[in-house]
Structure 1
Amino acid sequence: MTTESAFAQLQPMPDDWQRALAVVAHPDDLEYGCAAAVAAWTDGGREVTYVLATRGEAGIDTLDPAKCGPLREQEQRASAAVVGVREVEFLGHRDGVIEYGPALRRDIAAAIRKYRPELVITLNHRDTWGTHAWNTPDHLAVGRATLDAAGDAGNRWIFPELTEQGLAPWDGVRWVAVAGSTTPTHAVDARPGLERSVRSLLEHRAYIEALTDEDPEHYCRSFLTANVTAAAERFGGVPAVPFEVFGR
């Protein structure tokens, strides 16, 4: 990333859309990444649906996956409701070992055909978070597959079995927005949805309490506030949720 691109001003996100589909690997990915933006969108009457590749069953070391999965699914549904998301779907891939490939692309393409979004959202699909923090294989696989599936969903000859199942091709995806990108291009004003984003992340209490000894509310508020404040320098001084937007 060049110095010029690192400090280029972020543009406002496109707003001429009605339906969005957010596709990520785990419960909590969206709450760490972009829940403040989701809250603002649903406030404006837009429809946002969440699709999770896994139930996050491998995410808590002290809890057996058979118990962890249902708990984290419950927390994710409660978390989504805080920011106005009514529909949450789990694809059932195994947490920690998601494989990029046709099966994953097919599942995501099926979701895109089902929900027919104009905007698709996913999480950082690149190797690192910034310079030194390595990303996880699940994030890489789901992020990359989501970018690919946005095109797959509109091609009737890719995964023709989906058409046979009643899922007609959908070529209406106009943008894929990547949250958590180190090279963002656009942003959403975080101020209207920030408090709800904190409450939304707090719904993942079992995960957070296993992750840190900090007070959960202090942890959530500090993390999310720092993230949106960091983007303000490139968004006219306004705390913001940044995205890297790919047009289609």
Structure 2
Amino acid sequence: MSIDEAATIPARVLAFAAHPDDIDFGASATIAGWTAAGASVSYCILTDGDAGGFSDEDRPGLAELRRTEQRTAAARVGVTDVTFLGEPDGYLQPSDAVIREIVRRMREVRPDIVLSMHPERSWDMIQKSHPDHMASGEAVTRAVYPAVENPYAYPELEAAGIASFKVPWLWFYGSPAHLENRFVDVTGAEELKIAAIMAHESQHPDVERMQARVRAILQDNARRGGLGEGRSAEVFHVVGINTDETIAGF
């Protein structure tokens, strides 16, 4: 199966992020298109997001507020299955315990596509490369291969009936520009993306600038992807994990 074939509508998608709002900035318009076409999409947020925000008044209860905001944002693009691992914001590591829980979610959902932040630093836009973002990407990548498909990795999961599973495709968002290989035309879904981002009210001190910047990035993505002026695109680094072109063990 080629990358072009991977662009067909998946049956199930499992999207991981370091913080509430990461998915919405990175991939929510693509996700809106998938859910509208009948795909089942689940989110797994790795940290509490309790170090985000700009107001001292929001500090008490911020983690729960951000969970509520993420559930609202997810619902706006057709996603109702949202789980949280509750790791501390700013201190995420690709630890054995974190990878085990990621493997658990992958085996439970059994997605056609795992959507993840990128594990590599992006020098073209350093904001993509918050340490939690890269740690999230590294943990998901370690889980995708080989842990999730190895019944002898985390055998307690296998013993509990959470069986090993081979992930076909891994789609990274927030990728370094030179690794981008999939431009998804999301023209017409811009307002859904903005609505999802706007659900994170605690995170936006300058709403007008944020919205303008998001729209500009979508249009620039489309130009770079050859989609033409006036189009919008989200962009990914797509990696085949278990496809017709891969061989087990290589």
Query: TM range, normalised to the smaller chain?
Result: 0.7 to 0.9
| Equivalence for 2:192 | 196
Change in CA separation of 1:134 and 1:224 when aligned onto 2, cut-off 3 Å: closer
**1:239 is aligned to 2:235:** no
Taking the TM superposition and a 5 Å limit, the aligned residue runs for 1:41-190 are 41-60=34-53, 62-63=56-57, 65-130=59-124, 135-151=129-145, 152-171=147-166, 173-182=167-176, 183-190=179-186
1:33 aligned residue (19, 22, 26): 26
AA matched with 1:97:
Y
AA matched with 1:73:
R
> For each residue in 1:112-149, what CA deviation from the matched residue of structure 2 results, as whole angstroms up to 9, or x when unmatched?
00111010001132123416657221111111111121
| Shift in Å, 1:29 | 0.3
- 3-state SS of paired residue (1:45): coil
TM-score (norm 2): 0.86
What is the alpha-carbon distance in structure 1 between the residues aligned to residue 104 and residue 59 of structure 2?
26
| Equivalence for 2:248 | none
What is the alpha-carbon distance in structure 2 between the residues aligned to residue 114 and residue 65 of structure 1?
33
| Shift in Å, 1:107 | 1.0
Report if aligned partners of 2:21, 2:197 keep a CA contact under 8 Å in 1: yes
What is the alpha-carbon distance in structure 2 between the residues aligned to residue 12 and residue 229 of structure 1?
24
**1:21 is aligned to 2:14:** yes
Q: How many equivalent pairs are there?
A: 232
Structural RMSD (CA): 2.0
1:229 aligned residue (197, 200, 219): 219
Change in CA separation of 1:236 and 1:170 when aligned onto 2, cut-off 3 Å: same
Change in CA separation of 1:230 and 1:11 when aligned onto 2, cut-off 3 Å: farther
Mind listing any 5+ residue stretches in structure 1 that lack a counterpart? 1-9
What is the alpha-carbon distance in structure 2 between the residues aligned to residue 132 and residue 22 of structure 1?
22
AA matched with 1:41:
W
| Shift in Å, 1:220 | 3.8
- 3-state SS of paired residue (1:126): coil
Structure 1 window deviating more from structure 2 (21-30 vs 224-233): it is 224-233
What is the alpha-carbon distance in structure 2 between the residues aligned to residue 12 and residue 110 of structure 1?
27
Mind listing any 5+ residue stretches in structure 2 that lack a counterpart? 242-250
| Shift in Å, 1:89 | 0.2
TM-score (norm 1): 0.87
| Shift in Å, 1:66 | 4.5
- 3-state SS of paired residue (1:236): coil
